[in-house]
Amino acid sequence: MMKNKFLVSPNPDNPALSTQIAGIDHNGQPVTTDVVTERPLTLYLNAQEVVTMMTIGDQPDLLALGYLVNQNMLKIGDEVTAVDYDEDLGVVVVRTGHKTNFEEKMKKKVRTSGCAQGTIFGDVIDAFETIKLPSNTKLKTSWLYELTKAINTEPSLYLKAGAIHGCVLCEGEQPLVYMEDVGRHNAVDKVAGWMFQNKIDPSNKMFYTTGRLTSEMVIKTVMMGIPILVSRSGFTAWGVELAKQANLTLIGRARGKRFVALAGLDRIEFDIDPSSIPDEDKKSGRKGKSSDD
């Protein structure tokens, strides 16, 4: 595999994902700026309507599969007979070879801090309690620096227009799959859908996000079986508590040579002198844009 060659990466040149809108700047001068699209996507599991999500509109099949996986409605090994998408109706239907327990799941759900309408069903919390992440996976700090550089310089909608979240599945120092969406939980679910579709082993993977390290992000990462979670942004106390409970390595504020680790510290191998790493370029396209806007 070629170093730093993404298997799946953003397509900022796709005209369906952003549009140009005219306005004025702080000096009152005319300006035209790129703005990401946002459209509803209604997900059905067989004949049952599950949820309507606001999304940029790419990868609807992966978003649908990942949402169901992360809500514990689909499990590894379950048979998916078809994923049908109707762009005109804004509907995606996941068809399975077995009956589902959707009605029971609806009885208990938790609203999360996620963008748009973040929700976690009650039995996801129960399943979280039983997951034991592998402890033998390591993270070399040299890998972390290589990954953040590769991710931050990859062409993306974030660099083009902002107002969007990115999530990247990585292995060692190699970024694999980079997904974006207006809600961070959607970007996570797209990665989960890709992993489900391709039967990917999560035990030696790392997950990178531009969003905050909240309880929702920790739960989704643990549910995917990934032992390391990294973000440019900060933490919530409950997110840290849940990470410690699940033995998830939790690293935040990862910018340039700097980062802070608050859980799963034993996996980190300090194999490079941070003084040899240059500071983050203040002229970078990511500088000044909030990962949580």
pLDDT at 117: 46
pLDDT digit string (tens) for 65-84? 999 999 888 988 889 999 99
Q: In the structure, what pLDDT confidence band is assigned to residue 119 with cuts at 50, 70 and 90?
A: low
Q: 63 and 179 in contact (C-beta within 8 Å)?
A: no
Q: What is the structure's pLDDT at 111? A: 46
Domains along the chain with CATH numbers:
1-293 (3.40.140.10)
Read off the pLDDT of each residue in 116-134 and give the average, rounded to a whole number. 73
Q: What is the mean pLDDT of residues 111-140?
A: 73
pLDDT at 127 over 90: no
Residue 239 in this model has a pLDDT that exceeds 60: yes
pTM above 0.75, yes or no: yes
Q: Residue holding tokens 């992993």?
A: 195
Mean pLDDT of 10-36: 96
| Span 195-235, pLDDT tens digits | 999 999 999 999 999 999 999 999 999 999 999 999 999 99
Q: Say what the pLDDT of residue 3 is.
A: 61
Q: Express each pLDDT in 256-271 by its tens digit.
A: 899 999 999 999 999 9
The pLDDT, as a whole number, for residue 123 is 72
Once rounded to an integer, what is the mean pLDDT over residues 270-275? 94
* Average pLDDT of the residues in 180-202: 95
> What does the chain come to in residues?
293
- Average pLDDT in the 184-205 region? 96
pLDDT at residue 120, rounded to an integer:
58
Residue 102's pLDDT is: 65
Read off the pLDDT band of 288 (50, 70, 90): very low
Distance CA(251)–CA(259), nearest Å, equals 7
Average pLDDT (139-146) is 96
| Phi (first) and psi of residue 37, to 5 degrees | -80, 160
Rounded to whole angstroms, the Cα distance separating 280 from 145 reads: 11
Q: What is the structure's pLDDT at 176?
A: 97
The 10s digit of each residue's pLDDT in 105-117 is 554 454 454 444 4
Q: Is 159 helix (H, G, I), strand (E, B) or coil?
A: helix
pLDDT of 52 strictly over 90? yes
The whole-angstrom separation of Cα 221 and Cα 106 is: 22
Distance, in Å, from the CA atom of 226 to the CA atom of 202, rounded to the nearest integer, reads 5
- pLDDT for the residue 76: 81
User: What percentage of the chain reaches a pLDDT higher than 70?
Assistant: 87
For 39, what's the count of Cα atoms within 13 Å in the CB-facing half-sphere? 16
Q: Give the model's pLDDT for residue 142.
A: 96
The residue-averaged pLDDT of 114-136 equals: 72
